[in-house]
A and B are shown apart, each in its own frame.
Chain A
């Protein structure tokens, strides 16, 4: 094969590889995404909520906790809110899961008004300088983390979440039965970093 033909063949190989790569690339972000935190201890969240009561994530051991990062000026968060209200109503009655929200870049009064208008009565921490979002690796709003009764992060949801998805995650990561009845948790070992 002469020089030009070798070059043509080489370029053809590279281009075929490139086209195959671009054709199979998926640009839809996963709803349930990989996070380095999955399988590790949940970073602390402490402070006072919008009603002035003290909040400490570590006090929730023994229950599942849904940590939801949101803001009232974020439309998908507003859309997601009724799902959280629903989830909270069901699981508060059973007593196996609770929600703790972190309001990002918000005035506590605005958050109070939002909850008054839209329902929901779980603790909301209006993040000031504490950088909770950073310690969880929050990229955009809304994001939700599911924390097991042992305080380990089991799931991360990178977009608006529904009550059904939260329930399914609870079932897959734990037994779904209330804690205290010997639930076996199958926590996925972390992706590491």
Chain B
């Protein structure tokens, strides 16, 4: 029953997507608005297919319907709530199902938002691109990555359940969906970018309309990455936050391009510059999303995340190639139309800062990508196997990170077009002294080492600058001044700086110790004492837990544990760390050797890491800032010119119509532009 339901849903989804492609293509070709308006019901049909498939799979999992192979291989009746719900995205085929559902959701949302403009050529092309992407993923699920395959289960068969690492912490339930909301969200601005290139309407109209979508997708992606780090910290037992693992890098690459884009797009809105940059960054973001999916699922690089190797690897690589080829081809074709009317006047200006920003983020992405695939390059060249790990990435990205921190401080105070030394000295005065203050504070707290201290300096500088903007905004407009893109952006900056500085501090100043501890013994690390008091064994539905009691500083008791999951056929045992967190430092306890009745000595690993909590606080601030930035600001219509030449702005309407300068010669003023 679930199988039939699932197949039907997927078939409906694929059918509707294909119909949508045809309808859009024919409608655009024959200029038929009736047909173009069909995109709304067709998109609803696509979403319906995805929902039916998703519900069928969840139902199969929750009722432990082992006639579905995915359930037999990845689910178990003993998995507790809510991890059983999360089992759906615990393995390859199910994760593609979730991805597709979110993609269809975004597609429908677009048809709702643009319901009055569905017959506009640009929207129609965007819908066509979205339908193509939907069709691709549905086809994947009807072919190589099929979640609804039949399985002949012996009566009473119970599957192994999701990987124990995926059931250990509640964060695992949220991290993938939020991450996917981010990844998939970038399909929308990408679709509009392609539509703009195809129709030749490469002006600023579509940018403004998709700005909020891009921001939403960026916000979700940022949250997803932070949650992933948090999960890694709480679960994996090594007490770290970022390992430069291939899949972490794969999620960082689109984030870097997207961040560069949301900044650089402001220059295009204001002055019509950097068009090629913006289109390229958007296409790069989406392509890197697909490349990242490929890297995760193909197994060509080592990773914690690697799903099992399967045939969809080459298909995803092919899709990546096609997307890049189409994007590059279209940009080449429209290269002349993309020429900007003006130029950056001076490098010391807001525009100049954003150009530098673009370059820095591109450099960052390049270094990360190079390091990730470099072992493959070397192996192809001379067969040697080398590794590129944290030491390389840390060293290479550190200077780029410092430069970005510096720009974060300077750019908000830079005027457009040109800055004078006087203006800069005036505005950067207080940020400068906040920088010195944070340096002295850090040194007083015992921080040493020029790199982390420099991080404190630049971080203080950035926070001073962002804080200054917030103060000015609230002074001028009261509480209302906190809403809107500009101030929301400053709040996000503060969040990012908190994350960056906390990350540097936590990795530079950690103390670790590994001990063999007998009951009653006390060990000390980093100025704290840890006493092993005893242990107990607890049975749960799907695992046996050995909990060890550690008393910290004679005060609180924390219980790192060792969990043996017995639904897995090989009986995997994984340790669950316990973290005593505080705003100044985290005390991280991990059990490395289980005690037994006969031999109660444990292996205990203790890590004292300062300021880790500020990484999560910073993440929360980033989310808050994104929300604030989504609200409309008090600005005038961004399409009305501030410093761009008047000849270009034709037919611009306050309602934000998707019109704009096109490749054809400008029509005389007063005539409507279609």
Contact = CB atoms under 8 A, between A and B. Distances in A.
B377 A21 contact: yes
Given A7-B276, A8-B328, A8-B335, A19 B380 contact: no
14 contacts: A2-B335, A4-B335, A4-B338, A8-B328, A11-B280, A11-B328, A12-B325, A15-B328, A22-B294, A22-B298, A22-B300, A22-B376, A24-B380, A27-B300
A75 interface: yes
B355 to A, nearest CB: 13
A7 B358 CA distance: 14
B276 A15 contact: no
B380 A18 contact: no
A5 B335 contact: yes
Interface string B3-17: 000000000000000
Contact of B332 (A8, A21, A25, A75): A8
Given A21-B377, A21-B380, A75-B570, A4 B331 contact: yes
Contacts of A12: 324-325, 328
Nearest to A3: B276
A25 B376 contact: yes
A25 B380 contact: yes
Nearest to B376: A25
A-B pairs, 6 with minimum CB distance: A4-B276, A25-B300, A4-B335, A27-B299, A25-B376, A8-B332
Interface string B309-348: 1000010010011001100100110011011000000000
A7 B276 CA distance: 10
A34 B384 CA distance: 9
Q: Majority SS of interface residues in chain A? A: helix
Contacts of A75: 570
A22 B321 CA distance: 11
Contacts of B276: 3-4, 7
B521 interface: no
Interface of A: 2-5, 7-8, 11-12, 15, 18-19, 21-25, 27, 34, 75
Given A4-B276, A7-B276, A27-B298, A21 B373 contact: yes
B88 to A, nearest CB: 27
Residue among B320, B335, B570 having the largest count of chain A Cβ atoms under 10 Å: B335
A19 B335 contact: no
Contacts of A7: 276, 280
Given A19-B317, A34-B383, 20 more contacts: A4-B331, A4-B338, A7-B276, A8-B328, A8-B335, A12-B324, A15-B324, A18-B373, A21-B377, A22-B294, A22-B298, A22-B300, A22-B317, A22-B376, A23-B314, A25-B300, A25-B376, A27-B298, A27-B309, A75-B570
Contacts of B514: none
Find the residue from B309, B338, B380 having the highest chain A CB count within 10 A: B380
Q: Which of A5, A25, A27 has the most CB of B within 10 A?
A: A25
A22 B338 CA distance: 32
Interface in B345-377: 373, 376-377
Contacts of B536: none
Contacts of A3: 276
B379 interface: yes
A64 to B, nearest CB: 27
Interface of B: 276, 280, 294, 298-300, 309, 314, 317, 320-321, 324-325, 328, 331-332, 335-336, 338-339, 373, 376-377, 379-380, 383, 570
Contacts of A22: 294, 298, 300, 317, 373, 376
Contacts of B383: 34
A75 B572 CA distance: 12
A22 B375 CA distance: 11
Contacts of A2: 335-336, 339
Max chain B C-beta neighbours (<10 A), residue from A4, A5, A11 = A4
A23 B380 CA distance: 11
Nearest to B321: A19
Contact of B331 (A8, A15, A21, A25): A8
A150 B314 CA distance: 46
A18 to B, nearest CB: 7
Nearest to B383: A34
B317 A23 contact: yes
A151 to B, nearest CB: 27
Contacts of B298: 22, 27
Nearest to A17: B377
Nearest to A12: B328
Contacts of B331: 4, 8
B332 A5 contact: yes
Given A24-B380, A25-B300, A19 B373 contact: no
B320 A19 contact: yes
Contacts of A5: 332, 335
A29 B360 CA distance: 37
A4 B274 CA distance: 10
Contacts of B317: 19, 22-23
B324 to A, nearest CB: 5
A81 to B, nearest CB: 17
Contacts of B325: 12
A22 B300 CA distance: 7
Contacts of A4: 276, 331-332, 335, 338
Contacts of B300: 22, 25, 27
A8 B276 CA distance: 10
B630 to A, nearest CB: 31
Contacts of B332: 4-5, 8
A111 B321 CA distance: 53
Contacts of B335: 2, 4-5, 8
B45 to A, nearest CB: 34
Nearest to B275: A4
Contacts of A23: 314, 317
A191 to B, nearest CB: 9
Contacts of A18: 373
A4 B630 CA distance: 32
A75 B571 CA distance: 11
Contacts of A19: 317, 320-321
B250 to A, nearest CB: 12
Nearest to B377: A21
Nearest to B375: A25
